[in-house]
Structure 1
Amino acid sequence: MQVSVETTSQIERRITVQVPASEVDQAVAARLQDTAKRVRLNGFRQGKIPMAVVRQRFGQDVRNEVVSELMRQHYVRAITEESLNPAGYPSIEPTVNQDGKDLEFVATLEVYPEIELQSIAGTEVERPQAEITEADIDQMIETLRTQRAEFQPVERGAEMGDQVKIDFQGFLGDEPFEGGEAEGHELELGSNRFIPGFEEQLVGASAGEEKRIQVTFPEDYQAEHLAGQEATFAVKVHEVSAKTMPEVDAEFIKAFGVDDGDFDKFRAEVKSNMQREVKQATQNRVKQQVLEALQAANEVDVPQSLIDQETDGLKRQAAQQFGLGEDFDVSQLPNELFADQARNRVKIGLLLAEVIKQNELEASDDEIRARAEELATQYQQPEQVVEQYLKNDELKNQIKSAVLEEKAVDKLLEQAQVKDVSMSYEDVLQAAQQSDDAADEDESEESDSKA
């Protein structure tokens, strides 16, 4: 076998491979002999068909099969001998494929980029610091009460915070517009789920009353044909219900996993969950800043094959998230909706993998178990969850990757200037959310700039 490798770009290689004609001929002859033993032809007993007939009837198909197999085998040998690290599958095409001549084929493939990591030294990273106060715990308990609130019908006009059951139909001028109607819709006034001004105009409305509501759709409304338009809604109110908040009694407390209904234990559990949220939000905020600095300091050629693989994964996640079913053909979803997010994820993954490699970072079994135990604390039977994580290879590898990623971020953080910033509980969560939103916006802007 003769191999030559051409570098066509930083991440693309073109391999030309020659396989001796004798090797191809021997493989074809052996396959034809096997075929002659197995096939049936009218006028011949099985196993007694003349080789000339077998070659005439099956020779080309057999050669095609053999050549295809030999190209795959010699491709693997070639990339092994040349120490190539392919990213994704190659494109393989025969260039010489004739009886009596050496087989020649060309394989075009992408390889993982060689990365020379640049330091993020000088980067300033803000690390939120927050203490959970008694007032924070009180507010969280109020939030939990609100989540379990019930609505009871009342015989009065609607107030902010009430829930109304309504039929409505929207009009542009005198013409109803698509998607602007519903029957028996339940709307909590003050939830800001509807167009600005809609909910406020239902204050004071009673069951059985009909109203006409005038609103203007926002200029940035997602339905372009409605953006900035003035509209009228014909609304009929069927029912007005007031919110009833549950008491923080033993029954309420037991619903949150405190089996004996003890109030002090409940507060301690709420505080523990809030501390876990703060820890996670702080880690996310720090990690996002570190990764932004890492990407800014390092330009990386990203193999398209890896982007395609990640895009496909994001499509499947989206299909699952929106309940499209396991049989849904994700190819129906446009690649451009996910391509930039996929590129960003692949680039970060390549850079973090290089950090892990250069610093020889590892995740021990004890560290993996500790992370599994931490994740399992939010479940009612954490011991069973931990065992499920550790016995499932896919879940265990996900935890291992998370541990290694955290170690890589910590290693990068040693290069940065870390500034602790005191924040309230709410501010820490908000800062982490804003960081996530900013990352999504950056991906969107990158997509727009390429359009």
Structure 2
Amino acid sequence: MQVTETLNSGLKREIKVTVPAQDLESRLVARLEDAKDKVRLKGFRPGKVPLSHLRRMYGKSFMAEVVNEILSDSSRSILEERGEKPAMQPEINMTEDEKEAEKVLDGQADFEFSMAYEVIPAIEIKDFSGIKIERPVYDVSDEEVDDQVKRIADSVRTYEDKDGKAEDGDKVTIDYLGKIDGEAFDGGAAEDSDVVIGHNQFIPGFEEQLVGLKAGDEKTIKVKFPDEYAAAHLAGKDAEFDIKVKKVAAAEELVIDDELAKKLGLESADKLREIVRGQLENQFGQMTRQKAKRQLLDALDDQYKFEAPEKLVEAEFQNIWNQVTRDLENAGRTFEDEDTTEEEAREEYQRLAERRVRLGLVLAQIGEEQGVQVSEDEMQRSLIESIQRYPRHQQQEIYDFYRQNPQALANIRAPLFEEKVVDELLSKADVTDKKVSREELMADDEDEAEAEKPKAKAKKKAAPKKKAAKADDAE
């Protein structure tokens, strides 16, 4: 087999491979010899079928198998011999001329093909103990725990029917019919709907207009849907709701005690508070970690500047772009609605794709050098969590798909591996904790969350560079 490098430019490589016809012939003969003792043909005793007869019957199909083996084995061996890691599966090109292909299968011509691929660049990992991170830490207060306990208790609160007018905190049972420009709209009608005044479950201005109504009253409520309302056909529209009050019920006194805790399946009010505190600390802890991770990845982004494989960047950009355009379409919006243009959005997401790929390669290299591993148990837990998002009747099918599809499993492993590498880096970086208020911890959290998952929507024209720079999803 003759191997010739025909392109070596930057990260791009092309290799031409020629397998002489005599090599193909020797492989074919070996396969025919092996089949001779196994094949059963009418008129021949076992093991006595002439090779010439086997060649006439199976020559081309066996040669096709030989060619496929060469493609698979040689691609891997060539890369190993060259000491190169391809960024993606090499692209194999061979003749599309049927006559030439027939000659190869008949053993009358050399088999030639080429491999085109990009290599993963050599990355020299720098000392990351010097990375400085200021980790914002927030201590959950007793008052926050009490407020959350009250909200939980309110969710199981009981109500007693009353004859008087509805007040703030009362539960009002209503029938309603929503209209825009005098026409009823889909999803705008319901019967026996319970509305607790002050819970803000309906669009702004709706619940407040129920105050003062009593059972049997009818009223037309006028409201305006928010400009950012999820249903694009209703967003920003003025609407009227014809209301009929069925009954009004007052909330019973809210008492936080062991009896309430038992309604929630817990043994005591103290246990309820303990669980709530743990949930809040975990919630704010995730925010803390996310901000620390963002600082870490920003530091790595500053440290490592290298050419990223073009094909990987293309694939990452396409993933982002498909999500962006799909989300805009679902919301009934355009790039102009997001104060940008398609060209500007493409430029921004291209930069983001390049950053993601570079950081992904850096994290992969660090993980490899630090011996980071994702255990089978961790994979199994994550796989089960993913499957549980699907309807129960589909879960076994989804599970089988993942277990039989290495690439799908790789998509489960990638975020687990990334988080473990981040943990490894944070354990060795120069991390200083800084006590902050709740407001400080959550400041700009919406913008930063948008930057972390930039696929959600197109960016505002005023801040694309800032948001793209913060994005920290390095998958």
Q: CA deviation at 1:82?
A: 0.9
Q: Which amino acid aligns with 1:19?
A: V
Q: 1:124 to 1:409 in 2, by over 3 A?
A: closer
Q: Distance in 1 between matches of 2:153 and 2:459?
A: 42
Is 1:406 the equivalent of 2:429? no
Q: Which amino acid aligns with 1:214?
A: K
Is 1:301 the equivalent of 2:301? no
CA contact (8 A) 2:132 2:429 kept: no
Q: 1:56 to 1:83 in 2, by over 3 A?
A: same
Q: 1:246 to 1:16 in 2, by over 3 A?
A: farther
Q: CA deviation at 1:77?
A: 0.8
SS in 2 for 1:436: helix
Q: 1:262 to 1:191 in 2, by over 3 A?
A: closer
Q: 1:155 to 1:103 in 2, by over 3 A?
A: farther
Q: CA deviation at 1:405?
A: 1.5
SS in 2 for 1:13: strand
Counterpart of 2:115 (choices 93, 99, 107) is 107
Counterpart of 2:364 (choices 353, 360, 368) is 353
Aligned twin of 1:211: 219
Q: Distance in 2 between matches of 1:146 and 1:9?
A: 66
- Where in structure 2 are the equivalents of 1:181-220 lying within 5 Å? 181-220=189-228
Is 1:422 the equivalent of 2:436? yes
Q: Which amino acid aligns with 1:62?
A: F
The runs of 5 or more residues in structure 2 that have no matched partner are: 324-345, 379-408, 466-475
SS in 2 for 1:223: coil
Q: Distance in 1 between matches of 2:128 and 2:415?
A: 27
Q: 1:180 to 1:421 in 2, by over 3 A?
A: same
Q: CA deviation at 1:256?
A: 7.2
Indicate the percent of aligned positions where both proteins have the same amino acid: 30
Q: Which amino acid aligns with 1:301?
A: A
Is 1:251 the equivalent of 2:265? no
SS in 2 for 1:159: coil
Q: Which amino acid aligns with 1:74?
A: S
Is 1:175 the equivalent of 2:206? no
Q: Which amino acid aligns with 1:13?
A: R
Aligned twin of 1:159: 167
CA contact (8 A) 2:149 2:272 kept: no
The runs of 5 or more residues in structure 1 that have no matched partner are: 316-335, 369-392
Q: 1:287 to 1:127 in 2, by over 3 A?
A: same
Q: 1:58 to 1:140 in 2, by over 3 A?
A: same
SS in 2 for 1:86: coil
Q: Which amino acid aligns with 1:16?
A: K
Is 1:282 the equivalent of 2:293? no
Counterpart of 1:131 (choices 130, 134, 139) is 139
Q: Distance in 2 between matches of 1:62 and 1:361?
A: 43
Q: Distance in 2 between matches of 1:209 and 1:289?
A: 57
Aligned twin of 1:386: none
Q: CA deviation at 1:150?
A: 4.0
Q: Distance in 1 between matches of 2:190 and 2:454?
A: 33
Q: 1:252 to 1:216 in 2, by over 3 A?
A: closer
Q: Which amino acid aligns with 1:82?
A: R
Q: Distance in 1 between matches of 2:117 and 2:191?
A: 57
Q: CA RMSD in A?
A: 4.7
1:61-101 Cα offsets, whole Å, 9 max, x none, are 22212201121011111111111213343332334752243
1:319-338 Cα offsets, whole Å, 9 max, x none, are xxxxxxxxxxxxxxxxx9xx
1:326-352 Cα offsets, whole Å, 9 max, x none, are xxxxxxxxxx9xx98987665443232
Q: Which amino acid aligns with 1:61?
A: S
Q: 1:139 to 1:227 in 2, by over 3 A?
A: closer
Q: Distance in 2 between matches of 1:230 and 1:364?
A: 53
Is 1:436 the equivalent of 2:449? yes
Q: CA deviation at 1:121?
A: 11
Aligned twin of 1:235: 243
SS in 1 for 2:226: coil
Aligned twin of 1:326: none
SS in 2 for 1:149: coil
Q: 1:292 to 1:274 in 2, by over 3 A?
A: same
Q: How many residues align?
A: 393
1:336-374 Cα offsets, whole Å, 9 max, x none, are 9xx98987665443232344456x476899xx9xxxxxx
Q: Which amino acid aligns with 1:25?
A: E
CA contact (8 A) 2:308 2:357 kept: no
TM-score by length of 2: 0.65
Is 1:82 the equivalent of 2:82? yes
SS in 2 for 1:233: strand
Q: Distance in 2 between matches of 1:40 and 1:427?
A: 79
Q: CA deviation at 1:309?
A: 12
SS in 1 for 2:114: strand
CA contact (8 A) 2:363 2:418 kept: no
Q: Distance in 1 between matches of 2:269 and 2:183?
A: 59
SS in 2 for 1:145: helix
